[in-house]
Amino acid sequence: MYTVMGITGRVGGVIGHDLLTAGLPLRAVVQDPVKSSRWATLGGEIAVAESGDVGALTNAFRNSEAVFVMLPPNADPEPDFSHARHLIDTIRQALATTRPKRVVCLSSIGADCESPSLLTALHMFETAMVSLSLPVTFLRPAWLMENFAWDIAPARERGELPSYLQPVDRAIPMVSTSDVGHFAARAMREHFTDERIWEIEGPDRYSPDDIAAALARALVRDVRAEAVPRAGWDPLFRAQGMRNPLPRIQMLDGFNSDNDGFRFRDGGQHTLRGEVTLVEAIAALVRES
């Protein structure tokens, strides 16, 4: 059995389809049974489990050949990451009890960095998974292209791409969630016995200027990337409803830093390359919007 958390999301959905296409038995872990009907129709087994319910997760993970685990996104964590700690401990307990043959863990570029940021939760997640002494593959994807879904509205309405990635002509590694899902499914199918780190990026590196150009192409209108002054980030994020914007700001600083920021190991010489281009990913997001 191949068990997948987060299957109703972008990455998990791709994993599920790839596993079923390969003729492998799929168990979809869902929180809302209403959203599971699609996977049952496709031939998957359904396990209803909240991320923080150790008993339900333990039942979901039982008799698994491989398990894909992830934390739900949280851009506004508590200062002590208490909720993330609870979820990590729950997943760890469930895996420790069920001992699947291998684990694939969704992490991120920058998760190896010990300085505090929004990625601190993933640093803790990786540490907890290593402590299990199970075969585990950590997926560390670059900045996700689908993060720019939030920027379609201002681009469409005003021709603006407010950018927190700066400077706007600086290219960084990016990757589509589709490619991440394909690599995750591949990792689940492979037979490995050790700890592996897969760093993943797309076919090229892209800047906010490139994002603006891709949005302009998809929206058929002029779009310009404009750097949002860093001094205004905290009040802006708080006005948007965030209670603790510091981790998000620290994460953005990590992506924007040339010296001690988030980087792939060995200058990215050994990264896995996806196939989806930025233009393709943005066009798909615009079609969805």
Give the separation between CA 148 and CA 161, rounded to whole angstroms.
9
Interval 79-112: pLDDT, tens = 999 999 999 999 999 999 999 999 999 999 999 9
Q: Look up residue 108 and give its amino acid.
A: S
pLDDT of residue 161: 98
Predicted TM-score (pTM) of the model is 0.96
Report yes or no on 128 lying in a domain. yes
pLDDT of residue 92: 99
Report yes or no on 108 lying in a domain. yes
Give the separation between CA 57 and CA 103, rounded to whole angstroms.
14
Report yes or no on 106 lying in a domain. yes
SS3 breakdown of the chain: % helix, strand, coil, rounded to 5? 45, 20, 35
Total domains in the fold of the chain: 1
pLDDT of residue 114: 86
Using CB atoms within 10 Å of the CB of residue 241, give its burial: 0 to 12 exposed, 13 to 18 middle, 19+ buried: exposed
Q: Residue 32: give the domain boundaries.
A: 2-142+175-201+270-275
Alpha carbon 178 to its chain centroid, in Å, reads 11
Interval 182-204: pLDDT, tens = 999 999 999 999 999 999 999 99
Report yes or no on 121 lying in a domain. yes
Give the separation between CA 213 and CA 219, rounded to whole angstroms.
10
Report yes or no on 206 lying in a domain. no
Report yes or no on 71 lying in a domain. yes
Report yes or no on 255 lying in a domain. no
Within 8 A by CB and 6+ apart from 221, the residues are 155, 156, 159
List the CATH number of the domain containing 138. Answer: 3.40.50.720
pLDDT-flagged residues of the chain (< 50)? none
β partners of residue 206: 172
pLDDT of residue 35: 77
Q: 159 with 219: CB under 8 angstroms?
A: no
Residue whose structure tokens are 């990016």: 174
Q: How many CB atoms lie within 10 A of CB 157?
A: 10
Residue whose structure tokens are 């492998």: 24
Q: Look up residue 59 and give its amino acid.
A: N
Report yes or no on 217 lying in a domain. no
